[in-house]
Structure formats: C-alpha cells, structure tokens
Structure 1
Amino acid sequence: MPESLNAAAVRAQLDDAASADEAAKIRTRMTDDRTEVIGVRMGTVFEIAKKNERMPLPEVDRLLDSDAYEMRMVAVSILDFRARRKGADRASLYELWMRRLDRIDTWDLIDRSAPRVVGWYLVDQPRDVLFDLARSADRWHRRAAITAAFWIIRTGDLDDPLALCELLAADPEPFVQNNVGVALREIGRIDPGRLEQFLARRGGDLTAHARRTARSALKG
C-alpha cells in the first residue's frame, strides 16, 4: 500500500501541518473536552482527505479509531468524497459510517458526511434506520437522522423528512433543533405549502432559531 494511503501516514501529514494557534481555535468549538485536537485548519484537513481519497476502507476505519478530531474529520471527508464518485459503492460507505457512528460525535463530523454517505444511499432504500436514530437518547444520533435527510429532500422526496421533523420538532437539544430548521427550510424551497402547514401545526414546538431558519424559505 502506498505510504500516503494509510492512517499512520495521515497522522504524520496532520502533525506536519499543525499549529498551536489553530489548536486553540478548534478547541473553542469542541463539545467534549476529552477530544484530542491536533491543530490543523479545515482547508488543510480537506486537502489531506482528498489526497487520500482512495484509501482502503479498513484504513479509513483506523482513522475513525483515533481520538484526534482531525483524524476523524479526514475519515468522514474521505467517505464523503468517495460517495460523490460515479459508480460509488455507497452501500460499503454507508455500512462503515453506520457501524462507526459512535465515533462520529461532533456536529461538524455529522454535517460533513451524513447527507451524501447516509442520505444518498437511503434515497432508494427503506429509511427505518433514520427513525430509529431520531428516537435515540444520543443527541448526535438524532442530529445524524435529520442531517442525512437533507439529501433525500434534495431529490424532492419530502414525506420521510417531514415525518422526521415531526419526531424532532420539540427536541430539547439545540444541535438537533438547528438542523430541523435547516431541513424545514429546504422542504419549504420545494413545497412552501407543506412547510406552512407544518409550521401552523408544530411551529410553536420549534426553538426560535429553528423557526426563523424554516421561515426564511417563505421570504421574497
């Protein structure tokens, strides 16, 4: 295997690009103080992921084993880049993502990968898994459920995304509410009437931020 296509080499590339100033910036947006931060700007993280896009999936799995935030960001970015390829084996990408979901435990790791890696695969598959995630006690699982639905919405299929919004409309977690608002906004751009009906029925259960985000689709 070429040296550049394994987890150890990725760690070396990240270490070479690290800075204390960047580490301090990244730590301000971490939600768990136990997360290791190497200190690499996101543009460089994505460049490293793109360079390693063809890494074998077992090595991507090893990246997800790491406690370092940037290692896992490289992992989910590789999965996202792979999902975009024509003829991608989206089932394998989806299966790895779901099996390691508990390692995808920050808002941006989810947002970086759930729409294409999970949502795109589920476009023509049963979506029971999203409803199971939406009912989870884990806030990141619930965010993953609604974030994966972004890609389903993009296809014009609104029934399951709206049902997920119903489940999560009164969610107490801001990290979940924020993406419910985004999902509703995107639904409203496709079918304003269905958004208006949802807001009339459940708008009072949303946070003010989620409600404003959703309503932005109805302006102009």
Structure 2
Amino acid sequence: MPKQTIRLTAAEFLEGLKALQSDAEQKKIQRYFKSGEGEYSQGDQFIGVRMGQVFQLAKEMMDMPLAQIEKLLESPIHEARVGAVSIMDFQARSKKTPESRRKELYELYLRRHDRINNWDLVDRSAQYVVGGYLYDKPRAVLYKLARSKNIWERRTAIVATSYFLKHRDRADTFKIAEMLLKDKEDLIHKAAGGWVRQAGKGDRDQLLAFLGKHAATMPRTFLRYAIEHLSASQKAHYMGLKNA
C-alpha cells in the first residue's frame, strides 16, 4: 500500500497536533510557561503536546510553503507556533535552502514577530533564521531590536548572536548584552547573562573585562548567569562587587 502523502498545510499540522494532545501534558505545560493571570504567557493557549513531538511533526513537514508557515504562526495555540518556528529553523539550517528562501524566512520572522511572542519561540528559531541570515551582512537590525519596547524583540537581539559565537565572532554578543544591562525583565537578564557566558567560553579575558566593568551594577540574575562557569573564587569576587 503506498505511503500516504502529507499535505504541507497549517491545517494538516494542526490536525497532527490534536492527535498528540494530552490533558496531563497540558497541565504541566501551563505551569511551566506561567500562563496564569499577570504572568508572561497569560492568554496563550496550550493544548498539551510534548515539545519533542511538536519538533518531530515539524521535521516531517519542514518543506511547508511560507504562506502556510505564516498561517501556522497566526494560530492562538502555542504548540502550533512552536511548530511554525521549528519549520523555519529546519529550513534555515538546511544546506539545501537557497539564499532567497533564507531571506524570506528572515523577513517573515521580523514581520510577524507579534506571533513569535514567548521565550521558547525566540530561542527555537532566532539563532539560524535571524543570526544565520545576518552573519555575512550588516547587523544594525539587531541593535534596533535591542532598543525595542517589546521584550521578545529584545530577546531576539541577543539570542541571534549565538550563531556568530559558533564562528568565534563575539563582539556583537558583548555589545548587545551591554545595551541590555538596564533592562527591567528577568527573561532578558537570563538570556543576556547566558549568552555572555557562552561568549566567555571562547574568550575568557573579554568576559572578565566585561564583568570587571559591569558586575557591580548589572542585575543579579544577569550576573549569576554570566559567572556560572567561573571558579568558586571568581564567582565570590564578582558577587562581592555586586554586594559592595
């Protein structure tokens, strides 16, 4: 019997999600993503599909046309938007993807950032869709995003630089992290501190210089994430600067 052909549409993806839905998983996801009143995921709809299953479904449908990806992004269901950005990520990573499609994916990401509206959606796709596209191009857009009033656009600015770090290109990570030092959002402190830490793996001296300049005034969460891989004595030193 011939294998059934998968229709690469948003509607087909949503049908696939519904077949994987679990009430128990829904409760876990709602707690994990803080979807209560006043929390950052308030109003988002979680139907209860494990992320590994969402990623697998996205991989099976990674050739979805751009217009259908955008339809998927428009869904109120969180797992559907995870699927959309995962498909974008798979396409951006593929060596078979032409530059013209990479540009379209990048432009879709920025144009529909209103639907890429949670930390996991940014982290799942910004590295390759945004950072990968900008690697050999001017990066002024990242600095514009870092100044945005939108928390998720600011997170994209720092997360996208992780692609550069793979190529030992660390300058933008430190510069954008410096722009985010006075950010009021904990989810930005975690991201900026984490990516500074990653940059420091490749250039410890640059990390220590950054900490020497900013440890006393940076947000505590930012600092804790940035110093995570340092020695106990170094951690104590920089936390001491913060507490002085």
TM-score (norm. length: structure 1): 0.95
Which residue number in structure 2 is paired with residue 68 of structure 1?
A: 77
| Structure-to-structure mapping, 1:14-33, within 5 angstroms | 14-28=17-31, 29=33, 30=35, 31-33=40-42
Q: In structure 2, the residue corresponding to 1:54 is in which secondary structure? A: coil
Displacement, 1:161? 1.6
More off after superposition, 72-81 vs 19-28: 19-28
Which residue number in structure 1 is paired with residue 237 of structure 2?
A: none
Q: Which has the higher helix share?
A: 1
Stretches of structure 1 that go unaligned for 5 or more consecutive residues are none
Stretches of structure 2 that go unaligned for 5 or more consecutive residues are 233-244
Which residue number in structure 2 is paired with residue 163 of structure 1?
A: 175
Which residue number in structure 1 is paired with residue 235 of structure 2?
A: none
Which residue number in structure 1 is paired with residue 239 of structure 2?
A: none
Aligned length: 219
Alignment of 1:4 onto 2:7: yes
Alignment of 1:34 onto 2:34: no
Q: Which of residues 82, 98, 110 in structure 1 aligns to 2:122?
A: 110
| Structure-to-structure mapping, 1:36-115, within 5 angstroms | 36-88=45-97, 89-115=101-127
Alignment of 1:150 onto 2:162: yes
Per-residue deviation, residues 134-181 of structure 1 (Å, max 9, x unmatched): 001111111111111111122111222211011001211011010111
Larger radius of gyration: 2
RMSD of aligned C-alpha atoms? Answer: 1.4
Name the aligned partner's letter for residue 68 of structure 1: I
TM-score (norm. length: structure 2): 0.86
Partners of 1:187 and 1:70 lie apart in 2 by 31
More off after superposition, 84-93 vs 145-154: 84-93
Checking the alignment, whether the CA contact within 8 Å between 1:119 and 1:151 is kept in structure 2 is: yes
Partners of 1:96 and 1:72 lie apart in 2 by 13
Checking the alignment, whether the CA contact within 8 Å between 1:49 and 1:75 is kept in structure 2 is: yes
Checking the alignment, whether the CA contact within 8 Å between 1:94 and 1:117 is kept in structure 2 is: yes
Which residue number in structure 2 is paired with residue 180 of structure 1?
A: 192
